[in-house]
Amino acid sequence: MRWIAGLFAIALLGLSAWLYFPVFPDAPATAASSDDIALAARGRTLTIAAGCLTCHWNTKGGKPFAGGRPFETPLGTYYSTNITPDIETGIGAWSDAQFLAAVKHGRRPDGMNLMPIQPFAAYSAMPDEDVIAIRSYLRHAVRPVRAAPPSNDLPFGFLLRGSITLWRLFNPARETFVPNSEFSESYNRGAYLVDVLGHCGECHTPRDAFWRPLPGQAMSGTLHGWDGGPVANITRDVETGLGAWTVDEVLFFLKTGIRPDYSRAKEPMASVIDLGLKQLTDDDIVAIVTYLETLPSIVNTVPKRN
Ligand code: HEC
Ligand code: HEC
C-alpha cells in the first residue's frame, strides 16, 4: 500500500514541477546576438509590426516600452511589464535566451509562465533571428526607464500561471513561419504580418471554451474578445465583414483608424493602429490587405464597439 502512496506522491511532485517549470529549448537556434547593433534597424520594423509598443506603454503618464498598461481580462487585471534596458526594473540584465523564452514561449526567467495576453502563441512562429533583432533594437535604441508597473503576481496567482502549462497542451507552439514559394512576396509578407507579428487573430479569431482558436474561422470576429467586448469580422464577407470596403478603404483604415463611414475605431484597435500599424510602410499595409483578401469569407455579425 505504502509504495502506491509513494508513487502517487512522486507523480504529484512531477506534475507540479512540470506545471510550474515547463521545459523549453534553452538556447536560441541562431548564431545572431543582440550585441550586434546592426540588427537594431531591422529590429525596429519588427518591433513596430509586432505591436510591442501598443501594449508595453501606458500612454496615460508612462514612458514608451516601460509597461504599466492595464489589461482587464476575465482572469483579472494584468499590467504590461517594463521592457526597456533598465537593469533593475526592465529587462537589461536578461540574456538573449531568456528574452527568446519569454517572447516565443511565454516563460519568465524564474521559470513561471507568462499569461497568454503576452501573445506568445502567435510569436512562437517568429524565426529566432527576428526575436534577437527585436532585442537588439530594445537594447540599443530604447532608453532605459526606471519604472516598476504594478505586480502581476497576485496571491495564488501562481496557480493560474501553473494552469497555463495545461492550456499549452491545447495551444502548442507553432512551427516557425516559412514563406510559401507558390504565392507572391506580398502575400507572404502579409501572412507573416497578420498571423505572426501583428497577431491579428489573437483578437479577431473566435475561441472555444479553452480559448483555442476555432478551426476554419480565422479573422471572423467574436462577440467576446479577451476584454469581453466585441471584435470585428475582418473576412471578405460583404454583409458582416469587410467585403463591401474597397482595398483603398481598408488601407486607409489601417493607417488612420477611420472607416469608410467616417466613424473611428475604438480601443483596443485604435492603439493597434496608432502605436503600430500607422508606422508601417505602405508596402507592408498593402501586404496585409493582400493576405486578408485571400482568407475565406465567413458570415458572422459583430456589432461595433461604442
Ligand atoms: C497584447 C499585449 C502585448 C503585446 C502585443 C506584447 N506584450 Fe509583452 N507582455 C504583455 C503583458 C500583459 C505582459 C505581462 C504578462 C504576465 O505577467 O504574465 C508581458 C510580458 C512581457 C515580457 C516578460 C517581462 C517580465 O518582466 O516578466 C517580455 C520580455 C515581453 N512582454 C516582451 C514583449 C515584446 C518584445 C513584444 C513585441 C514583440 C511584446 N511583449 C508584445 C503584453 C503584451
Ligand atoms: C488587441 C486586439 C486587436 C488586435 C491585435 C487587432 N485588432 Fe483589429 N480590431 C479589434 C477590435 C476590438 C475592433 C473593433 C473596434 C471597433 O468596434 O471600433 C477591430 C477592428 C478592426 C477593423 C475594422 C473592422 C470594421 O468592420 O470596422 C479592421 C480592418 C481590423 N481591426 C484589422 C486588424 C488587423 C489587420 C490586425 C492585425 C495587424 C488587427 N486588426 C489586430 C481588435 C484588435
Q: What's the fold here for domain 185-294?
A: Cytochrome Bc1 Complex; Chain D, domain 2 (1.10.760)
11-30: average pLDDT: 69
Phi/psi of residue 97, nearest 5 degrees: -65, -40
Q: Which three cell numbers stand for residue 212?
A: 483555442
Residues whose beta carbon lies within 6 Å of some atom of ligand 2: 194, 198-200, 202-204, 225, 231-232, 234, 242, 250, 253, 259, 265-266, 268-269, 272, 277, 288, 304-305
pLDDT higher at 29 or 227: 227
pLDDT of residue 208: 92
CA angle 276, 280, 283 (to 5 degrees): 150
- Decide if 126 contacts 32 (C-beta within 8 A): no
What residues does each domain of the chain span?
33-170, 185-294
Q: How far is the CA of 183 from the centre of ligand 1 (A)?
A: 32
User: For residues 55, 60, 62 and 67, what is the CA-based torsion angle, rounded to 10 degrees?
Assistant: -20
- pLDDT averaged over every residue in the chain: 93
Q: Is the pLDDT of residue 219 over 80?
A: yes
Q: Which residue has a Cα nearest atom 10 of ligand 2?
A: 269
What is the atom index within ligand 2 of the atom nearest the CA of 292? 35
- Decide if 286 contacts 236 (C-beta within 8 A): no
Sorting pLDDT into bands at 50, 70 and 90, what band is 8? Answer: confident
The pLDDT tens digits for 250-275 are: 999 999 999 999 999 999 999 999 99
pLDDT of residue 269: 97
